[in-house]
Amino acid sequence: MSIPRPQLAVSAVSTENARSEAKSVEIKDLSAWYGPKLAIEGVTISILPNTVTAIIGPSGCGKSTLVRCINRMHEVVASARVAGKVLLDGEDIYAPGIDPVMVRRRIGMVFQRANPFPTMSIFDNVASGLKLNGLADRRTLPAVVERSLRQAALWEEVKDKLGHAGTALSGGQQQRLCIARALAVEPDVLLMDEPASALDPVATLKIEELMQELKRDYTIVIVTHNMQQAARVSEYTAFMLAGEDRVGRLIEYGETSRIFTNPKDRRTEDYITGRFG
Amino acid sequence: MDVYQGSNHMRRKIANAVMLGLAGLATALAILLLFSVLGYVLIQGGSAINLDFFTQLPKPVGEPGGGMANAIVGTLILLGIASLIALPIGIGAGIYLAELGSGRLGTTVRFVTDVLTGIPSITIGIFAYTLLVLPMRSFSTLAGGFALAIIMIPTVTRATEEMLKLVPSSLREASLALGIPYWKTVLRVVVPAAMGGIVTGATLAVARAGGETAPLLFTAFGNHFWSLSLNRPIAALPLQVFVYAISPYDDWRAQAWAGALVLVGMVLVINLVARFFVRGTRMQ
């Protein structure tokens, strides 16, 4: 008897705003290692579609590691390893036979430091995901690029210089360019690993406003060490903390309003009231 | 208060001045040597160079005039063949070392490459002689290009590796996170980002190979006539310079200087052309 291989289809590229539904993400008893070192242990979180979920916690609590496990970027690091399950719309992305490349096409990621491709123009940066995957249709590509840049609230600022270098933009613009690049491949989920921590307050505000727009179409998970930011942008918040053993664990997870006003765990309260971290 | 004027302070100032002076002297000597070589080549070669030098074949002994047109073309052909062999191998090996070479095989390849860099070029000439000239029963362009390629490969390999390692890992991650497969990430994102350095490394290798004489002595061999054939002996500038420079004839020795000048000029032009092309690859 053969077990049917799970299929992760890459959705056909549409040029309109209408797109596939945002998807839920369920993290079940997830642990991750770097070589022999356990980094996070036993994390279980259910993330609803079309919400912004913030992962907060002090440095070294494993919040970046957790978010990198959601699109299988964790295993890019040599000797890194994962146990547990991550269900995207009910499908385990760590099941045997699942290609991590396909997972990453459905779960996009934005990094702490804006990292546009230095050899490419603004247009090519946005188009890169489709072009390099051989999914680009020459006729619809300009429309896809425009739609992605509009979604990332960058279109008006760059529409007259699409041929310029992506790296010539300001830091905040570069980060929105990276968001547009991630959106162009039409992911179901968007992961953001401290997307505004290297930006000034004005650029940060733009990114935060953008997230409110984007959650209508996407499920968003944001890692942040900025508690105010988590309170501003998210519906749900997960608080992580590393103990004496320096292994990150989930301390509390729930609606943001409750976590910030009525935390159940003493450590959550200590952290959000600024007693440590 | 003479806290700021103690004997320690004086001693430091003197030591500083002395060391600065020594470093400056060393720099001046290095530059002086370089410029005296260039200047001498320019003066000696410049007086012997003329249009005929670029368009004429060498004249027999006793006849004045003539040029090294065949040697100039010969060197270009040899470098072209060497590049065709060495660049794909060297760049490919460099990509392997940078992206996958963390294991034992990578360490071995890196070690062998470094050893290869240090092998005397005459040895590489003998190798090419044994491998190609003897079985083909003829000195040949192919053997000369092959010998030069072996000299170029380690330089290209290590330059490629170093340049790829300078590409920040955040670029690799950005590409992988878009669902771009690893091999495409390397070829379309990482390598283009390092292209400037790779081309510079390749240029240095070509420049070095262009001046090599020893490996050509018994591979390309030299030729007083036109030859574009791959399996015949071919003229090369360094060989011609060597033969002319040790000859007893004044006009030949003058032409040897002109040949040296042209060789220096070719290296310069190759450098400039490479730089010009690299400028376009990085968006500014």
pLDDT tens per residue, range B34-93: 999 999 999 999 988 889 889 988 888 878 888 899 999 999 999 999 999 999 999 999
> What are the C-alpha distances in Å from B46 to residues B68, B251, B259, B260?
15, 13, 10, 10
Helix axes B104-118, B69-100, angle to 10 degrees: 160
Q: Summarize pLDDT for A75-106 with one digit per residue, the tens.
A: 998 889 999 999 999 999 999 999 999 999 99
pLDDT at A8 over 60: no
Residue B234 DSSP SS3: strand
Helices and strands (DSSP H and E) totals, chain B: 14, 0
Q: Summarize pLDDT for A132-183 with one digit per residue, the tens.
A: 988 888 889 999 999 999 999 999 999 999 999 999 999 999 999 999 999 9
Q: What is the pLDDT of residue B43?
A: 93
Q: What is the pLDDT of residue A31?
A: 96
pLDDT at A225 over 80: yes
pLDDT at B184 over 90: yes
What mean pLDDT, rounded, does chain B reach?
A: 90
Q: What is the pLDDT of residue A96?
A: 93
Q: In what order do the strands lie in the sheet with A91-92?
A: A91-92, A80-88, A25-34, A37-47, A248-255, A236-242, A52-56, A219-223, A189-193, A107-110
Q: Which of residues 136-175 of A touch B (CB under 8 A)?
A: 164-168
- Joined tokens for residue A123: 């247009």
Q: What is the pLDDT of residue B10?
A: 86
Contact B170 A117 (CB under 8 A): no
Contact B178 A115 (CB under 8 A): no
Residue A24, chain B, CB below 8 Å: the answer is no
Q: What is the pLDDT of residue B101?
A: 86
Contact B283 A133 (CB under 8 A): no
Kindly indicate the confidence band of residue B274, based on its pLDDT and cuts at 50, 70 and 90.
confident
User: Closest approach of chain B CAs to the CA of A8, in angstroms?
Assistant: 12
User: Closest approach of chain A CAs to the CA of B192, in angstroms?
Assistant: 7
- Give percent of chain A with pLDDT exceeding 70: 92
Q: What is the pLDDT of residue A9?
A: 44
Residues in chain B within 8 Å Cβ distance of A133? 178-180, 184
Radius of gyration of the CA atoms of chain B, in A: 24
> What are the C-alpha distances in Å from B93 to residues A137, B14, B255?
34, 50, 40
What is the mean pLDDT of the segment spanning A64-84?
93
Residues in chain A within 8 Å Cβ distance of B190? none
Closest partner CB to B178 (pick from A120, A166, A185):
A185
Q: Which of residues 88-117 of B touch A (CB under 8 A)?
A: 102
Contact between A223 and A238 (Cβ < 8 Å): no
Domains and CATH numbers, chain A: 25-272 (3.40.50.300)
Nearest chain B residue (CA) to A72: B177
Contact A121 B281 (CB under 8 A): no
- Amino acid identity, residue A115? N
What is the mean pLDDT of the segment spanning A114-121?
93
Contact between A185 and A110 (Cβ < 8 Å): no
Provide the number of CB pairs (under 8 Å) joining chain A to chain B.
84
Q: Summarize pLDDT for A14-26 with one digit per residue, the tens.
A: 444 445 578 999 9
Residues in chain A within 8 Å Cβ distance of B281? 119
Residues in chain B within 8 Å Cβ distance of A115? 168, 170-171, 173-174
CA angle centred on A105, ends A42 and A78, rounded to 5°: 55
Closest partner CB to B179 (pick from A76, A101, A167):
A101
Contact between A240 and A212 (Cβ < 8 Å): no
- Joined tokens for residue B145: 């290009």
Residues in chain B within 8 Å Cβ distance of A117? 171, 174-175, 189, 193
